[in-house]
Structure 1
């Protein structure tokens, strides 16, 4: 069932220092709420700086939806401490507000209380706001408030050389990109295990479910939320943060050129549904364009290939010029049992799993295989904890628990190398914790969360945790960022936005035309 990676593992054991050069970064979204548990109607706090230009603290879809971004680093503990400092600083500057600890937002009675994120008067700022206006008009504002964790991960060139048994002094971008695509394909094949273990959204508000015929399949509770007893992550299901139009794109990640051309096609081709919306209403933009995707960020996939953007280029241009630099895992729900939405066990497991994905063989994906993979994901996120659940592996039905156990056994050998490299025991310890979760699905995050929510309701559970974490965070000292550094970052963000606005010399229509021309270059 699983390919033999023992030869490569042996080489990694001889060169454990390679693991030290792995880089990771974390992005966490969280909704600002009032002390009574409703969405904040206040603008982004000025004390945090300008979200357009701040390097660590910004906003996502709405003014009230914070996003924290850690820089890339070669140590998990540093990244988590950095992320916690961002939470500490924010908590100290929120005054009478709190940070919501769940992926599914607090109860929102009126959509008018959701204010689209604002980024100032520059063309770039207007572009970002109108893009979000388009998301609201295309999919609804509620869906855009569903929050998650994005885990960015890159492997050093030396790792790829060992994997390929290569001594090339220069390892080309094409070779590196091919290896990252190999990792991505394996993630599509087995990445559902992350949702099975760490999915934290087995419930959803009644207002998210538009199809009345579907509602009858849910269990429902008196305070307007529905749930599936065996679900793991409704956040990434068709009821949550998804786009059914995009499923027809059939992006397979078999080679970089095909990936780029597939995304580019979606960026350039009109959508009949979005064309009906129009571009403007009463002379005001309601979306950037009527294409299948307004911009690249609108592509909702479990995992994305990424390259650092330079000089206002598009992500696709950056990938075409310099290949894949890192990958972005997008299927991790907010962990409500952590004040920062993620813990060391999750981070270390993700890294072991991604390294395994990079090492294990994975052939090119055709339509038939893609359908199997999508079916597996749907099965896990909707009913993954169902007793005697099965999964499709190599077109054969296998017991889920058997597949998970075999996968973890593969990860233990990798964990030993990680622990040697970092002089720790957290990676092997993580594997043993995961084994217990696989043996007993009641230990999975979705089970623990559902128990709490059925007892207290979503808002009470979320509000209790948000208050608990607020008190913790405001009492703790900073670990890796100083108060002075936060102040400098804030001032820099303010000055940078003012400079962008001051130097603006094009109309917004000219700016949009330049964006469109870059798509065709």
Structure 2
């Protein structure tokens, strides 16, 4: 740990270390028994997608999103996520919860139902935003699923960290500055996460039925990238031309919210041509480059919990950064809950090291180089001759670069394990090193292709089989009576809350939207 900030951590005593605060948002499609995207409404047994705190939907009515509360241990967080999965699986009937990031069989845009949130103005706003995504980018792109990992450090850490760094800013400003410090280094290293956790090298042919692509044929209904780690994060996944012009700055909070805010208030000619209404119905919130902040796709975001009616930018400007959201994680199709313990513990170690490593501001030239490294690993990360570009212009093989980064994490893993009197972080680090041994890397993207080949099944049928196995596993794990009762209560309360919101809304939606856009 050569960086000066690592040495500052030596001033912490074990009693100063209270670990990480963490949570997961895990998406996944509901599909029918044949592996086709579900056309049914959000199951009533799962409550209101608008108001339920644990179970909601993302873009599509068929795209579930399961959310954990914040926990201070990986085990507790994963236990909560598993409980939610158990409850969901018990209430899906004949449907299956899709285990992969790239979708099941689809049949164009019209086969992907847009999520519904009821008649309240907030519910209608959420639906219109998704209609806007449909007219801007098409629905097919929105059928992809992933896992978002949320991490923060407790105030006790920040107070001690501020003391040892000699900083005299307000705690709010200091935390925001330090989270952006972390984000800058995350952007320098995020390619590593795509190598270690990318798990979407193949897709069903229906996804690219009307697209140009350079994928290779796996079988008569499956395409794959020969060296790809994550088709989800590549050119076929989350991207669009309008956002390519944004130049959102991740160097500090003020410039981040300013550039993001500018995008929300800058018209885009193609979206102006579409208009905001069609046949008297709203089809997008506005005609700006971004309708709202959430439309901006990025591998990482600084976040602040919003109050009802508050916009994310407003929350960040008012109260600073609260946590970091890592958004580039594919679902782990081998895990019944889409993520695994070694992965989460490694992310904690990785993100803390991003905070502890020197992190100069990122200029335009470096930004372009970082984007290129990331895209190269997404598209060709399993090609061991792939070379990444360092700051000095040197090219280094991707495997060497990955092992160097893992090696630099060893002292930090040992320090954290010493404080916690365990082997958590050394084990998580060893699990990642094991993936890069020998000539055939055991990274998840390679494991997926190997498993498909061994089974003789293509993407749809192999994922459907994995999804059914996970479903059976989770249905066999009955929920404790008090836990089941708690989920049933959340269902009832969320439905009642949605009804109350709808009954209380008297303002016409058009007026509500006008007021929302002015805020």
TM-score tier (shorter): over 0.9
Residues 232-311 of structure 1: pairs in structure 2 closer than 5 A: 232-311=229-308
Which residue of the partner structure matches residue 368 of structure 2? 371
- Partner of 1:191, secondary structure, is helix
- Partner of 2:441, secondary structure, is helix
- Aligned-pair CA distance for 1:479: 6.8
CA RMSD between the two structures: 2.0
Unaligned runs of at least 5 residues, structure 1: none
Choose the corresponding residue for 1:338, options 335, 345, 348.
335
Is contact 1:82-1:481 (8 Å) kept?
no
Which residue of the partner structure matches residue 489 of structure 1? 490
2:474 & 2:259 partners in 1: Cα distance?
44
Q: Which piece of structure 1 moves more, 319-328 or 440-449?
A: 440-449
- Partner of 2:436, secondary structure, is helix
Which residue of the partner structure matches residue 173 of structure 2? 174
Which residue of the partner structure matches residue 450 of structure 2? 451
- Partner of 1:27, secondary structure, is strand
Is contact 2:108-2:140 (8 Å) kept?
no
- Aligned-pair CA distance for 1:18: 2.0
Q: Does 1:15 align with 2:24?
A: no
Residues 29-178 of structure 1: pairs in structure 2 closer than 5 A: 29-164=27-162, 165-166=164-165, 171-178=170-177
Distance 1:425-1:393 versus aligned 2 partners, 3 A rule: same
Is contact 1:208-1:239 (8 Å) kept?
no
2:485 & 2:16 partners in 1: Cα distance?
34
Q: Does 1:433 align with 2:421?
A: no
- Aligned-pair CA distance for 1:161: 4.4
Residues 313-392 of structure 1: pairs in structure 2 closer than 5 A: 313-392=310-389
- Aligned-pair CA distance for 1:388: 2.6
Which residue of the partner structure matches residue 468 of structure 1? 469
- Aligned-pair CA distance for 1:402: 2.3
Unaligned runs of at least 5 residues, structure 2: none
- Partner of 1:30, secondary structure, is strand
Normalising to structure 2: TM-score of the pair? Answer: 0.95
Which residue of the partner structure matches residue 193 of structure 1? 192
2:265 & 2:2 partners in 1: Cα distance?
40
- Partner of 2:409, secondary structure, is helix
Distance 1:479-1:273 versus aligned 2 partners, 3 A rule: farther
- Equivalenced residue count is 514
Which residue of the partner structure matches residue 512 of structure 1? 513
Is contact 2:105-2:207 (8 Å) kept?
no
1:514 & 1:154 partners in 2: Cα distance?
33
Q: Which piece of structure 1 moves more, 141-150 or 304-313?
A: 304-313
- Aligned-pair CA distance for 1:115: 1.1
- Aligned-pair CA distance for 1:387: 2.0
Is contact 1:160-1:179 (8 Å) kept?
no
- Aligned-pair CA distance for 1:511: 0.8
Which residue of the partner structure matches residue 442 of structure 1? 441
Normalising to structure 1: TM-score of the pair? Answer: 0.94
